[in-house]
Chain A
Amino acid sequence: MDLELLLGIFPQVLIDGITLGFMYALIALGYTMVYGVLEFINFAHSEIFIVGAFVGVELLLGMKASGWLDALPWVVVLLLILAAGMAVSGVLAVIVERTAYRPLRHAPRLIPLISAIGVSFFLQDLIRLVESLWRNSFNLVYPTMDALNTRFELSSTIDVSMKSLVVILAALLMLWGLYSLVNKTKIGKAIRAVAEDQPAASLMGINVNRIISLTFLIGGAMGGGAGVLFGVQYSLINPYTGFIPGLKAFTAAVLGGIGNIPGAMLGGLVLGLLESFAASYLSLLTGGAFGAEYKDIFAFSILILILIFRPKGLLGEVVRERA
């Protein structure tokens, strides 16, 4: 066992894990917010996430074709695609809620769940159809922005790329914005009130339907932003790319305590780190007997263990029990 190697890559694995973790955290917010308000799992969220990535890549390709990509400073480009991705995904989430979930609001719990899975399939194939007709391709690649590929070499084995820093910074800003919105504003108070007790909230003069739409808008926008960051970081996307990160983010939400916003952030980070460490270290520590392909098994085993001992997730206690 090469101890020097094991320790040498540690900071790098940590940085990669944090980047991935923030990505999961951003997606997990969409699951957790909807669950907090409606107590149902929006399985279409993984597609809302990837739609953001597609909006970003389309905008970038368009800017590249018209020459704007080189003319504008990269920060402006990044902010533009982030804003576009968040807007489209947010609006899409609201439309999905209005058409596929609201008519089923009072149906038994399983019915909207099935509807959500249906929407997920529908969106996957809709993206595929649109992209095949429009670009005749399945895989789309984010055009390279040179400024984002700058690396800061800290040692021979460790370096931080501009991309990771941007992802972490953007995620932190989005999380902070959301946290203050929910906890410090009147709208946030209304969202929390609806989550607590819908009839009572509506008696207090809160328009419940509007708040639910707003929840979907915010959750969707976070997902869309995560989609753009995912594309910038990993560059290759296709219509089915959203599924696995979506599933992982859902897991992260459960891990942190579903319905709980800080819990989703924590859960995302924990899962990202677990996955990153498992993938890099499993094969080194076991002498190749367990390879990187076991990273998910490892991460999910830990999830099971945590849920056995803390069934409500890491921060589950904060959520008040509801009648």
Chain B
Amino acid sequence: MRNLRTRHVLSALALFALFAGLTLQAAHPVGAQPKGTIKIASQSPLSGGQAALGEGIKLGAQLAVEKMKGNLEKMGYKVEFVPFDDQAKPDVGVANAKNIIADKDIMAVIGHLNSGVAIPSSEVYKEVGVVMISPANTNPVVTDRGYPNVDRVCGRDDVQGKVGAEFAHGTMKIKSAYIVHDKTQYGQSIAEFFKADSEAKGVKVLGFEGTEEKSNFDSILTPIKAKNPDVIYFGGIYDQGAPFFKQAREKGIKSKFMGPDGMDSSDLTKIAGKAVVGMNYTSAAGPASALPKAKAFVDEYKKKFGKNPEPYAAEAYDAATIAIKAIEETAKKGKVAREDVATAVRKAKLSGITGDIAFNANGDRLKAQYFVLTVESDDPAKWGDNKIVKQLTIAPPEPKK
């Protein structure tokens, strides 16, 4: 009985606190005041199997916000960085997006990692016109919808697939390929681009297979072993690709391995070890060593967070820098409104650590860089030393009207 009463008192207290909080917030609508709070959000997987890359995006953006917020603070604004965890799941990303648009102080979103999450989430951002600058979403659909509030500082999968196929055919001299993908919007579409471009060059595609399996690849690998392709291409992310490649080697498959930028994380070698040494992968985000002004960024990142930046951390840094500069520009004209920030971002020009950034009419980066890299060592700490075997700067395809 006593227990019950305590519980009643507790819930009454909780309710009271909730209402008190609500009324307080209603009494001070911070965003509406001339000098209020400006928030910049990030959305990326901070938990789960892809957290290594997702955390890199968060920390890169956080570093930029902390470094660049000075000007806005001088103008009298309070600047905050709010990270969200989308768990690499579309439903979680969309739920977070709804919270983001409900918080009127959030002026820009840096994210996501997964195109399959970014696409539905950006439908939500579009409702209120809050800008999303993506450091990592390479799927063509992200910008092909022509939304005024969606931009990206990385490359596109249709180009990346072509770069991969050209390298496989031209440099690796492969005659046959077996393609496996993870059935996500990102993985399947890059695999399809790779397939189409390889076939166009006369490479024989021996199989094209999708799987959501995460641990047991035995039964997929058996036919691959029998067909013995020159190269196995995995369109997906490292947390699935790594055990796949590891089990392939353990099964005695001798084919070469290849993958897209989803493989670009030190966790690939952490999981797969020696199996992936010598593997080639394409990327729309080069290692920090290849970036012109990255050394200072790498040092600062290491000093602050005690680890090497993962791929896309530098892209997230640039994306957040663009966001802050755009907000500054709108703030100078008086009121900071979401649509105006989005317009300013589209017009932005930045000489960032990943090179010169400007956007075309659809929000694609005008000059995006593409890399082909080779895994050099099975030590995850040396992921940043992976050798660049090819580096290209390619403009996105003309936006369709």
Let me know if A5 and B227 touch, CB within 8 A. Answer: yes
Q: Identify which of B216, B219, B225 gathers the most chain A CB atoms within 10 Å of its CB.
A: B219
Point out the residues of chain B lying under 8 angstroms from A321, CB to CB.
none
B223 at the interface (CB under 8 A from A): yes
Point out the residues of chain A lying under 8 angstroms from B209, CB to CB.
283, 291-293
Which of A33-41, A209-217, A233-241, A258-266 forms contacts with chain B?
Answer: A233-241
Give the docked Cα–Cα distance between A63 and B215 (Å). Answer: 24
Give the docked Cα–Cα distance between A128 and B49 (Å). Answer: 11
Let me know if A241 and B215 touch, CB within 8 A. Answer: yes
B270 at the interface (CB under 8 A from A): yes
Let me know if B222 and A20 touch, CB within 8 A. Answer: no
B184 CB to nearest chain A CB (Å): 12
Given A139-B271, A293-B212, CB of A20 within 8 Å of CB of B218: yes
- Out of A128, A235, A288, name the residue touching B208 (CB < 8 Å): A288
Let me know if A157 and B226 touch, CB within 8 A. Answer: yes
Shortest Cβ distance from A128 into B: residue: B47
Which of A8-16, A112-120, A192-200 forms contacts with chain B?
Answer: A8-16
Q: Identify which of B208, B215, B227, B250 gathers the most chain A CB atoms within 10 Å of its CB.
A: B215
Let me know if A279 and B220 touch, CB within 8 A. Answer: yes
Question: Of residues 1 to 58 in A, which have CB atoms within 8 Å of B's CB atoms?
Answer: 5, 8-9, 12-13, 16-17, 19-20
Q: Which secondary structure dominates chain A's binding surface? A: helix
Give the docked Cα–Cα distance between A283 and B220 (Å). Answer: 10
B212 CB to nearest chain A CB (Å): 7
Point out the residues of chain B lying under 8 angstroms from A19, CB to CB.
218
Give the docked Cα–Cα distance between A236 and B271 (Å). Answer: 7
Given A144-B273, A236-B242, A288-B207, CB of A12 within 8 Å of CB of B183: no
Let me know if A295 and B207 touch, CB within 8 A. Answer: no
Point out the residues of chain A lying under 8 angstroms from B49, CB to CB.
138-139, 238
B246 at the interface (CB under 8 A from A): yes
Give the docked Cα–Cα distance between A161 and B216 (Å). Answer: 14
Point out the residues of chain A lying under 8 angstroms from B220, CB to CB.
279-280, 292
B222 CB to nearest chain A CB (Å): 5
- Out of A151, A161, A277, A291, name the residue touching B210 (CB < 8 Å): A291
Question: Of residues 257 to 312 in B, which have CB atoms within 8 Å of A's CB atoms?
Answer: 267, 270-271, 273
Given A5-B227, A138-B47, A292-B209, CB of A275 within 8 Å of CB of B251: no
Let me know if B215 and A237 touch, CB within 8 A. Answer: yes
- Out of A128, A151, A230, A234, name the residue touching B243 (CB < 8 Å): A234
A100 at the interface (CB under 8 A from B): no
Shortest Cβ distance from A276 into B: residue: B219
Question: Of residues 225 to 254 in B, which have CB atoms within 8 Å of A's CB atoms?
Answer: 225-227, 239, 242-243, 246-247, 250-252
Given A139-B267, A293-B211, CB of A9 within 8 Å of CB of B51: no
B174 CB to nearest chain A CB (Å): 20
A284 at the interface (CB under 8 A from B): yes
Give the docked Cα–Cα distance between A279 and B223 (Å). Answer: 10
B29 at the interface (CB under 8 A from A): no
A141 at the interface (CB under 8 A from B): yes
Give the docked Cα–Cα distance between A144 and B272 (Å). Answer: 10
A70 at the interface (CB under 8 A from B): no
- Out of B51, B219, B247, B273, name the residue touching A138 (CB < 8 Å): B51
Given A159-B252, A283-B209, A291-B210, CB of A235 within 8 Å of CB of B246: yes
Give the docked Cα–Cα distance between A149 and B243 (Å). Answer: 15
Given A13-B219, A279-B220, CB of A149 within 8 Å of CB of B250: yes
B46 CB to nearest chain A CB (Å): 10
Shortest Cβ distance from B47 into A: residue: A138
The 8 A CB mask of A158-170 against B (1 = contact, 0 = none) is 0101010000000
Give the docked Cα–Cα distance between A244 and B219 (Å). Answer: 16
Given A280-B222, A293-B183, CB of A234 within 8 Å of CB of B215: yes
Point out the residues of chain A lying under 8 angstroms from B251, CB to CB.
151, 159, 161
Give the docked Cα–Cα distance between A278 and B223 (Å). Answer: 12
Point out the residues of chain B lying under 8 angstroms from A128, CB to CB.
47
Given A159-B252, A161-B250, CB of A9 within 8 Å of CB of B239: no
Shortest Cβ distance from B223 into A: residue: A280
A74 CB to nearest chain B CB (Å): 16
A256 CB to nearest chain B CB (Å): 21
Give the docked Cα–Cα distance between A157 and B247 (Å). Answer: 15
Give the docked Cα–Cα distance between A234 and B171 (Å). Answer: 33
Give the docked Cα–Cα distance between A8 and B251 (Å). Answer: 16
Let me know if B219 and A279 touch, CB within 8 A. Answer: yes
Give the docked Cα–Cα distance between A93 and B250 (Å). Answer: 34
Give the docked Cα–Cα distance between A233 and B208 (Å). Answer: 25
Q: Identify which of B183, B212, B216 gathers the most chain A CB atoms within 10 Å of its CB.
A: B216
Point out the residues of chain A lying under 8 angstroms from B215, CB to CB.
230, 234, 236-237, 241
A93 CB to nearest chain B CB (Å): 22
B201 CB to nearest chain A CB (Å): 20
Point out the residues of chain B lying under 8 angstroms from A275, CB to CB.
219
The 8 A CB mask of B179-192 against A (1 = contact, 0 = none) is 00001000000000
Point out the residues of chain A lying under 8 angstroms from B78, CB to CB.
none
Q: Can you list the 4 inter-chain pairs with the closest CB atoms, starting with the nearest?
A: A279-B219, A16-B218, A236-B243, A234-B215
Residues of A bordering B, CB below 8 Å: 5, 8-9, 12-13, 16-17, 19-20, 128, 132, 138-139, 141, 144, 149, 151, 153, 157, 159, 161, 163, 230, 233-238, 241, 244, 275-280, 283-284, 288, 291-293, 295
A-B pairs with beta carbons under 8 Å apart, 19 shown: A9-B225, A16-B222, A17-B219, A128-B47, A138-B47, A157-B226, A159-B252, A161-B250, A233-B216, A235-B243, A236-B246, A237-B215, A241-B215, A280-B219, A280-B223, A291-B209, A292-B210, A292-B211, A293-B212
Given contacts A234-B215, A234-B247, A241-B214, 17 further A-B contacts (CB under 8 A): A9-B222, A16-B219, A17-B219, A20-B218, A132-B47, A139-B239, A139-B267, A141-B270, A141-B273, A159-B251, A233-B216, A236-B214, A241-B215, A276-B218, A277-B219, A278-B219, A293-B211
